[in-house]
Amino acid sequence: MSSGNQVLWLALIIGNSRWHWGAFESDDSGLAPRGDGSEPALRGERWLGSWHTAPLSEAQVQTLQRHHFAPSAWSQLDPPITLSPALLKGAAVWPDSPELWLASVVRAPVIWMADYAALYQVILAEVPLNNTYPTLGVDRALALVGAGDVWGWPVLVIDCGTALTFTAGVDQRLIGGAILPGLRSQFRALHAHTDQLPALELDLSQWPQRWATDTAGAIASGILHTQLAGICDFIAAWRADWPAGAVVLTGGDGAAIYGAIAKQNPGLAQGINHDPDLGFWGLRVCRRQGR
């Protein structure tokens, strides 16, 4: 069970190519008012950490449910998954059935977890964001709300994942955004739809030279430099409209993109934040308002 009023709960965001897990510990005994007069926060909220997995099978999900998603259950999966010893360090004793706050862009895993008693599925209509449209991805909505909660409004979220998405909002109201293939998706598509171009592994440890002298280098240059130019253009346009607005990079390639912007355009990079956990902050807002 939990220690005192400390409640350990889990967050899960299921994307197209990866599953993102997080853990929080909250004191649910009461609400602490915020100094700025906004929505009160749960007392003693503490972020315990995150981990990321490839998509799990139904059998793996059932194993985790039987063991209440406890850290020891992950090593029993086939194949096993090892969680970092530092994860959840100092947390309360693992509860019998921790709350699992779930948002998914894929339907099947939600069905697999439907029988879990402490499941709280968050759909788009339950995200506290105004001016949305029916096909807006719940992951984008959560990231925007999470960014606004942590970094303040107005805010532009740039998610550098399987898809590269731009999502902008003011005062918990969606302004709009854009979607295009992410870096890895572009590499795969170029190989899949041509006869002669090779399959390449994306290496962001060193940004390629612009004027390449071989095919592999030309592909890397074309995709990476034009992607970076597009991102910088969106940031410049955002700042023209909202000079005091925040800019937050997230997603699997967010850190590398941030590093490239800082190196190639230091002036533009000033004021850009990198936060890989925006979706979890969004789920935290949903839980806070739902209790």
Q: What pLDDT sits at residue 249?
A: 97
- Residue by residue, DSSP assigns 123-166 as -GGGSS-BS--TT--HHHHHHHHHHHHHH-SSEEEEEESSEEEE
Residues in a beta bridge with 104: 14
Same fold? 6-121, 138-279: yes
Task: Show me where the domains of the chain are located.
Answer: 6-121, 138-279
Q: What pLDDT sits at residue 1?
A: 37
CA–CA distance, 24 with 46 (Å, rounded to integer): 6
Q: What CATH class is the domain 138-279? A: alpha beta
Pick the CATH number of 6-121 from 3.30.2010, 3.30.420, 1.10.3120, 3.40.1000: 3.30.420
Query: pLDDT per residue over 143-189, tens digit each?
Result: 999 999 999 999 999 999 889 999 999 999 999 999 998 877 877 77
Q: What pLDDT sits at residue 33?
A: 47
Residues 6+ apart with CB under 8 A from 164: 158, 179, 180, 181, 182, 183, 227, 231, 251
Positions marked catalytic: 139
Query: pLDDT per residue over 17-34, tens digit each?
Result: 899 999 999 887 655 444
Q: Which two tokens stand for residue 229?
A: 């130019």
Q: Which two tokens stand for residue 152?
A: 């303040």
What are the φ and ψ backbone dihedral angles of 25, each rounded to 5 degrees? -130, 125
pLDDT bucket at 4, cuts 50 / 70 / 90: low
Is the preceding peptide bond at 276 cis, omega within 30 degrees of 0?
no
Q: Is the pTM of this model over 0.85?
A: yes
What whole-number percentage of the chain has pLDDT above 70? 89
